[in-house]
Chain A
Amino acid sequence: MAEHMTEEEIRKHVKVYVMVFGALAVLTVVTVAVSWLDMPMLPALIVALLIAVVKGTLVALYFMHLVSEKQVIMWVLAATVVFLISMFILFIGALADQEQVAISGSFLSYVA
Chain B
Amino acid sequence: MELQIPYEVTARRDTGVNNAKLGIWLFLASEVMLFGGLFAAYVFLRMGADAWPGMMIPDTTEMALRADQVLSVPLATLNTMILIASSVTMVMSWASLKLNDFKKYKLYMGLTILLAFGFLIVKTFEYGSKFGHHLYPETNMFLAVYFVLTGLHAIHVTGGIIVNAYFWGPGAKMWTRGNERDKAHFTNRIEVAGLYWHFVDLVWIFLFPTIYLL
Contacts and interface: CB of A to CB of B under 8 A. Distances in A.
A35 to B, nearest CB: 4
Nearest to A58: B205
Contacts of B21: 73
A49 B213 CA distance: 11
Contact of A48 (B22, B77, B201, B210): B210
A74 B103 CA distance: 34
Interface of B: 10-11, 15-18, 21-22, 25-26, 29, 32-33, 36-37, 40-41, 43-44, 47-48, 68, 73, 77, 80-81, 84-85, 87-88, 90-92, 94-95, 98-99, 191, 194-195, 198-199, 201-202, 205-206, 208-210, 213-214
Nearest to B41: A91
Contacts of A87: 33, 36-37, 40
A40 to B, nearest CB: 11
B208 A72 contact: no
Contacts, number: 131
B87 A63 contact: yes
Given A3-B11, A48-B214, A49-B209, A76 B43 contact: no
B48 A88 contact: no
24 contacts: A2-B191, A3-B11, A3-B18, A17-B88, A18-B88, A25-B81, A25-B84, A32-B73, A32-B213, A35-B213, A48-B209, A49-B210, A52-B205, A56-B202, A56-B206, A59-B201, A60-B202, A71-B16, A76-B22, A83-B33, A84-B33, A87-B33, A87-B37, A95-B48
B205 A44 contact: no
Contacts of B77: 28, 32
A94 B40 CA distance: 11
Contact of B194 (A49, A51, A63, A94): A63
